[in-house]
């Protein structure tokens, strides 16, 4: 890359950032802990959504010590609805590790950060540059889009070769000693100006160096890969209430998706099964109880990153057996008013909402 292009790129980008940077909560009172939590939350989540989660999380766990001392259930409850719950569980474990082994301090080198359990190259680069100003460049989705357009890159930015190329470009552009501001400014440009659709090129500081703009086709980059249709699963869940008005819920194993969260017990419908048969089988396998499956309470449609579900929640009554933890970590009878205290997935929260003010039917 020509030295002059690099100079202009850095100068114009950083000048733009000074004028346009948003006042986001993780940009004030910056500590490695706050940077780390915000980066974990921002992966796969919009800034507007992450902002509220971040503020609630910081109020409850203002520092590493508070997070390390919390119960995993409290951490998951504050993460509820954000998805990618393994991140919350790992953050909790990493906080405990840092308190125990590192005197509550984050390592100040990229290698040291990377060696922490539960911290990958992206997070280590983000924390290293934003908290310690280490000379490491960060490539997230926003940065990748800007780079693909600036260099009119027509390869696949998600493939191994594409990733290497983008990393090499951004490493070359990174100004020594200013990595934090530079990384943030590229991310901010992708979020505010070089947006996926209708980039605001006339207001962009990189207009002079951008090849996609010069070619008049910014929206052609990054090149699109054909979207695969997501698999769809039909899932059944049993809603069981005892004579004290308590609901039977089960906690998922940690190694499973949504690990550590609670749910109305159930599972995936097998080919040839009716919904009633599916729920009866699932409750037998999961909790060892034999149930009569009654009317449908609600059907929840939900999309995860790799599949979609239709979750059919049916009222059920136990005919035989006492709940045991065959395929769950724990089970509990919980009154409606206390259900909200347990961490649930978004889909199960819809079932709780559907239960509000509803009397169990007779069947």
Give the residue numbers marked as catalytic: 39
Shorter beta-carbon distance to ligand SF4: residue 218 or 323: 218
CA distance 10 to 137: 13
CA distance 70 to 95: 10
For 72, residues 6+ apart whose C-beta sits below 8 A from its C-beta are: 89, 92, 260
Give Dmax over CA atoms of the chain in angstroms. Answer: 78
CA distance 127 to 174: 16
Shorter beta-carbon distance to ligand SF4: residue 54 or 213: 213
Cis peptide before 222 (omega within 30 of 0): yes
Give the residue from 254, 240, 205 showing the smallest Cα distance to 323: 240
CA distance 245 to 318: 14
Minimum CB–partner distance for residue 203 and ligand SF4 (Å): 8
Minimum CB–partner distance for residue 157 and ligand SF4 (Å): 14
Q: How many CA atoms lie less than 13 Å away from 51 in the CB half-sphere?
A: 10
Minimum CB–partner distance for residue 213 and ligand SF4 (Å): 4
Shorter beta-carbon distance to ligand SF4: residue 160 or 216: 216
Strands 232-240, 308-320: pairing is: parallel
Shorter beta-carbon distance to ligand SF4: residue 21 or 65: 21
CA distance 273 to 14: 60
Using CB under 6 A, list all residues that contact ligand SF4.
Answer: 146, 149-150, 193-194, 199, 201, 204, 206-207, 210, 212-213, 218
Give the residue from 159, 343, 356, 363 showing the smallest Cα distance to 252: 343
Shorter beta-carbon distance to ligand SF4: residue 94 or 167: 167
Q: Is 127 helix (H, G, I), strand (E, B) or coil?
A: helix
Shorter beta-carbon distance to ligand SF4: residue 15 or 207: 207
Minimum CB–partner distance for residue 156 and ligand SF4 (Å): 18
Q: How would you class 12 by CB atoms within 10 Å of its CB: exposed for 0-12, middle for 13-18, buried for 19 or more?
A: middle
Minimum CB–partner distance for residue 206 and ligand SF4 (Å): 4
Give the residue from 149, 325, 141 showing the smallest Cα distance to 248: 325
Minimum CB–partner distance for residue 191 and ligand SF4 (Å): 11
Minimum CB–partner distance for residue 174 and ligand SF4 (Å): 17
For 98, residues 6+ apart whose C-beta sits below 8 A from its C-beta are: 64, 68, 104, 105, 106, 116
CA distance 137 to 297: 50
CA distance 199 to 331: 50
Shorter beta-carbon distance to ligand SF4: residue 157 or 218: 218
């Amino acid at each position: 890359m020509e030295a002059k292009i690099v100079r202009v790129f850095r100068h114009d980008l950083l000048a733009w950032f000074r004028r346009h940077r948003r006042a986001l909560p993780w940009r004030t009172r910056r500590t490695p802990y706050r940077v780390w939590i915000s980066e974990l939350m921002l992966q796969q989540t919009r800034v507007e959504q992450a902002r509220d989660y971040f503020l609630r999380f910081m109020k409850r766990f203002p520092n590493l010590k508070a997070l390390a001392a919390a119960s995993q259930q409290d951490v998951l409850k504050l993460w509820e609805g954000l998805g990618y719950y393994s991140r919350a569980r790992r953050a909790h474990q990493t906080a405990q590790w840092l308190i125990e082994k590192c005197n509550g301090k984050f390592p100040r080198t990229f290698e040291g950060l990377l060696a922490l359990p539960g911290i990958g190259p992206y997070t280590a680069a983000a924390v290293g540059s934003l908290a310690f100003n280490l000379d490491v460049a960060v490539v997230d989705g926003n940065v990748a889009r800007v780079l693909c357009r600036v260099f009119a890159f027509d390869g696949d930015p998600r493939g191994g070769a594409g990733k290497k190329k983008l990393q090499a470009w951004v490493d070359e552009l990174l100004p020594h000693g200013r990595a934090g501001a530079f990384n943030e400014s590229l991310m901010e440009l992708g979020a505010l100006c070089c947006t996926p659709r209708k980039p605001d090129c006339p207001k962009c500081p990189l207009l002079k160096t951008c090849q996609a703009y010069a070619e008049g086709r910014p929206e052609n980059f990054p090149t699109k890969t054909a979207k695969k249709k997501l698999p769809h699963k039909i899932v059944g869940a049993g809603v069981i209430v005892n004579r004290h008005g308590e609901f039977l819920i089960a906690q998922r194993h940690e190694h499973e998706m949504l690990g550590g969260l609670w749910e109305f017990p159930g599972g995936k419908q097998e080919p040839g099964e009716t919904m009633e048969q599916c729920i009866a089988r699932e409750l037998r396998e999961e909790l060892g109880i034999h149930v009569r499956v009654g009317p449908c309470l609600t059907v929840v449609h939900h999309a995860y990153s790799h599949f979609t579900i239709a979750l059919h929640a049916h009222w059920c009554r136990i005919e035989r057996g006492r709940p045991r933890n065959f395929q769950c970590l724990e089970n509990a009878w919980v009154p409606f008013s206390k259900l909200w205290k347990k961490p649930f997935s978004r889909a199960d929260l819809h079932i709780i909402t559907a239960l509000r003010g509803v009397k169990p039917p007779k069947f």
